Structure 1
Amino acid sequence: MIVTPHSADFAALLCASHRRLTGHDLVDPALPPSDAARWLYDAAPFCVLAHDTQADPCFIYANLAAQTCFEYDWDEFIGLPSRLSAEAPNRDERDRLLADVARQGYASGYRGLRIAKSGRRFWIEDVTVWNLVDAAGLRLGQAATYRRITPA
Structure 2
Amino acid sequence: MTVSLSLDPQFFNLLADSHQRLVGTPLIDNGIAPADAARWLYEDAPFCVLAHNTDTDPRFIYANRAAQRCFEYDWNGITALRSRFSAEQPNREERAQLLESVRTRGFASGYRGVRISRSERRFWIEGGTVWNLIDSDGVYHGQAATFHHWHDV
TM-score, length of structure 1 as denominator length? 0.96
Instruction: Report the residue type matching 1:80 in the other structure.
Output: L
- Structure 2 unpaired stretches of 5+: none
Structure 2 residue 34 is the aligned partner of structure 1 residue 9: no
**Displacement of 1:135:** 1.1
TM-score normalised by L of structure 2:
0.95
Q: Deviations over 1:2-56 (max 9, x none)?
A: 4421111111110000000111001234544431000000111100000000000
CA distance in 2, matches of 1:60, 1:15: 15
Distance, in Å, in 2 between the alignment partners of 1:30 and 1:10 is 20
Structure 1: distance between partners of 2:4 and 2:113:
26
Q: Offset at 1:74?
A: 0.3
For the 8 Å contact 1:3–1:10, the answer to whether it is kept is no
Q: How far apart, in 1, do the equivalents of 2:5 and 2:129 lie?
A: 22
User: Aligned residue for 2:149?
Assistant: 148
What CA RMSD, in Å, does the superposition of the two structures yield over aligned residues?
Answer: 1.3
Write the letter of the residue equivalent to 2:106.
Answer: G
- Identity score, percent: 56
- Mapping 1:1-152, distance limit 5 Å: 2-29=3-30, 31-152=32-153
Q: Is the 8 A contact 1:50 1:60 kept in 2?
A: yes
Instruction: Say how many residue pairs are matched.
Output: 152
Q: In the alignment, residue 27 of structure 1 is paired with which amino acid?
A: I
